[in-house]
């Protein structure tokens, strides 16, 4: 499916760097390259996958814009599947802008967000899940996030989806044959066989979905909120975890005015940690804004680190706050263990949280932090991050589709259990098959495509 127009965009980051790359893709790519080039090559006849030295040249004004290297990749062996010329200029913004304008004036159009990837998809160079993984690679916050996205780019999810769809289609074919040739002597499956085969497919999806939560955390980070009364050591804990003095630590209660957000890398998992301005009732307007915001953060956090001061002990404020977060993942921390924790303090805390485990730490002396990290790993990753052989779905769209298609399979299985004929239930398998095709893009609608690709950055 060849596109009509030729598109162009800066594909490297905007800003100064030693090299900036502009990509031209489409049927006119080589003729436009000829128009902006001064050197020895004719791009319309030059061999594919070759490198050409020369100048970006504005013929109209007889002006050399930059010394550059031109890369020629003819379709279909290019990123987009179309003819592609990439111009590697020096990285200055002025030069890149002039070059881009020159290319536009020679008949190319500025690419929309994600349009290169969209063409790659439409030309069959990538399936949709792979195209989406490109976006994930660009946005990944840790190396592990990149690994995940790369494995998806290599098609691990797509392969599974293709197998599931092939299996579903085979079952549909069996049922169809049964309906069409009821009297012929053809191979048939028993209800038990249908049951076990569909249950097996559903099981595969279920196990992938189980992993999805891990995957989402690896990609997006775990939203962690440090909560507790003023002066219990929340900022100090954030600093200790960050390993550097970032938040301002003071002795005056309530001085961490706003909400501070930081990323830390815990063994490959990005933690998005929020230090709140001391969640408590206040009359101070500025502080109130911070408090409101903080309460929102706490509500939406994946994990709350609730800090109590070993010296101050527990107060009414703590009890109230602890009650509000009792349905969330909470790790209870008693800070300032360096000054000594009394048995009364321990008992009071344990009492308030119904005997849940309390970690004793010292944010200032950096004691107990390893145990805290381990507790986080235990809570969300069953102690380990080993996921290598499993397919890890991170994309919300993919998760939703997998859930929906599993629901159709469930419908099929329930129907069988109720003694319904597979003739009536075949629709469930067809629906599951169709849903799954949306992951790889085989059954996806045009407007959804636009929506997905518009989330890409320019130049992707």
The contact set with ligand GDP (CB under 6 A) reads 228, 230-236, 249-251, 256, 278, 335-336, 338-339, 362-365
Which tokens sit at 443?
């059954």
Q: Is 427 helix (H, G, I), strand (E, B) or coil?
A: helix
The helix (run of H) or strand (run of E) holding residue 323 is helix 316-324
Nearer to ligand GDP, 8 or 231 (CB): 231
In the sheet with 84-90, reading across from the earlier edge strand, the strands are 37-39, 50-58, 63-73, 84-90, 19-25, 7-10, 109-110
Nearer to ligand GDP, 245 or 450 (CB): 245
The helix (run of H) or strand (run of E) holding residue 73 is strand 63-73
State in angstroms the smallest separation of the CB of 348 from ligand GDP.
19
Contact 415, 424 (CB under 8 A): yes
State in angstroms the smallest separation of the CB of 368 from ligand GDP.
9
Nearer to ligand GDP, 245 or 423 (CB): 245
Nearer to ligand GDP, 362 or 405 (CB): 362
Contact 35, 59 (CB under 8 A): yes
**Listed residue (431, 408, 412, 405) closest to 195, CA to CA:** 412
The helix (run of H) or strand (run of E) holding residue 82 is none
State in angstroms the smallest separation of the CB of 276 from ligand GDP.
9
Contact 268, 392 (CB under 8 A): no
Nearer to ligand GDP, 25 or 337 (CB): 337
Nearer to ligand GDP, 78 or 235 (CB): 235
DSSP string of 147-170? Answer: HHHHHHHTTHHHHHHHHHHHHHHH
Nearer to ligand GDP, 5 or 370 (CB): 370
State how far the alpha carbon of 65 is from the alpha carbons of 7, 86, 131, 152, in Å.
21, 16, 34, 40
Q: Long-range pairs for 314-321 at CB < 8 Å and ≥24 separation?
A: 314/345, 314/348, 314/349, 314/352, 315/229, 317/229, 317/280, 318/228, 318/229, 318/352, 319/352, 321/227, 321/228, 321/279
CB within 8 Å of 233: residues ≥ 6 apart:
307, 309, 335, 336, 363, 364
Contact 307, 234 (CB under 8 A): yes
Question: How far is it, in rounded angstroms, from Cα 48 to Cα 75?
Answer: 9
State in angstroms the smallest separation of the CB of 393 from ligand GDP.
37
State in angstroms the smallest separation of the CB of 269 from ligand GDP.
24
Contact 333, 361 (CB under 8 A): yes
State in angstroms the smallest separation of the CB of 306 from ligand GDP.
11
State in angstroms the smallest separation of the CB of 250 from ligand GDP.
5
Question: How far is it, in rounded angstroms, from Cα 42 to Cα 39?
Answer: 9
State in angstroms the smallest separation of the CB of 254 from ligand GDP.
7
State in angstroms the smallest separation of the CB of 360 from ligand GDP.
10
Nearer to ligand GDP, 228 or 459 (CB): 228
Nearer to ligand GDP, 123 or 256 (CB): 256
State in angstroms the smallest separation of the CB of 228 from ligand GDP.
6
State in angstroms the smallest separation of the CB of 232 from ligand GDP.
5
Nearer to ligand GDP, 367 or 458 (CB): 367
Q: Is the preceding omega at residue 76 within 30 degrees of 0, hence cis?
A: yes
Question: How far is it, in rounded angstroms, from Cα 406 to Cα 3?
Answer: 36
Nearer to ligand GDP, 234 or 398 (CB): 234
Give residue number: closest CB to ligand GDP. 233
């Amino acid at each position: 499916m060849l596109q009509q127009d030729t598109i162009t965009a800066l594909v490297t980051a905007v800003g100064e760097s030693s090299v900036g790359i502009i990509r031209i893709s489409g049927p006119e790519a080589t003729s436009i390259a000829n128009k902006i080039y001064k050197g020895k090559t004719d791009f319309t006849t030059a061999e594919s996958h070759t490198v050409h030295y020369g100048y970006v040249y504005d013929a109209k004004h007889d002006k050399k814009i930059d010394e550059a290297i031109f890369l020629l990749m003819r379709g279909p062996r290019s990123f987009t599947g179309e003819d592609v010329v990439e111009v590697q200029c020096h990285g200055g913004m002025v030069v890149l802008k002039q070059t881009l304008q020159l290319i536009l004036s020679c008949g190319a159009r500025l690419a929309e967000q994600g349009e290169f990837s969209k063409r790659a998809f439409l030309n069959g160079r990538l399936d949709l899940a792979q195209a989406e993984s490109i976006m994930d690679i660009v946005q990944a916050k840790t190396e592990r996030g990149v690994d995940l996205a790369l494995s998806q780019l290599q098609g691990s999810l797509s392969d599974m989806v293709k197998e599931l769809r092939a299996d579903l289609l085979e079952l549909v074919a069996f049922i169809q044959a049964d309906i069409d040739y009821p009297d012929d002597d053809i191979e048939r499956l028993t209800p038990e066989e249908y049951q076990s085969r569909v249950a097996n497919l559903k099981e595969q999806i279920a196990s992938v979905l189980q992993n999805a939560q891990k995957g989402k955390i690896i990609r997006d980070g775990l939203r962690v909120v440090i909560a507790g009364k003023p002066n219990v050591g929340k900022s100090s804990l954030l600093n200790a975890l960050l390993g550097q003095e970032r938040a301002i630590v003071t002795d005056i209660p309530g001085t961490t005015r706003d909400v501070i957000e930081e990323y830390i890398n815990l063994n490959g998992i990005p933690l998005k940690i929020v230090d709140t301005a001391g969640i408590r009732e206040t009359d101070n307007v500025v502080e109130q804004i911070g408090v409101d915001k903080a309460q929102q953060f706490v509500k939406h956090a994946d994990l709350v680190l609730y800090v109590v001061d070993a010296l101050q002990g527990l107060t009414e404020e703590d009890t109230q706050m602890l009650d509000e977060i009792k349905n969330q993942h909470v790790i209870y921390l008693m800070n300032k263990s360096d000054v000594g924790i009394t048995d009364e303090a321990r008992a009071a805390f344990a009492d308030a949280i119904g005997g849940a485990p309390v970690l004793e730490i010292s944010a200032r002396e950096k004691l107990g932090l390893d145990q805290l990290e381990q507790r986080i790993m235990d809570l969300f990753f069953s102690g380990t991050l080993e996921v290598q052989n499993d397919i890890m779905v991170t994309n919300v769209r993919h998760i939703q589709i997998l859930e929906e298609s599993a629901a159709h399979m469930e419908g099929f299985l329930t129907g069988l259990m109720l003694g319904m004929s597979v003739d009536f239930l075949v629709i469930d398998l067809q629906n599951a098959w169709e849903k799954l095709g949306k992951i790889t893009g085989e059954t996806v609608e045009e407007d959804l495509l636009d929506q997905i690709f518009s989330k890409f950055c320019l130049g992707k």
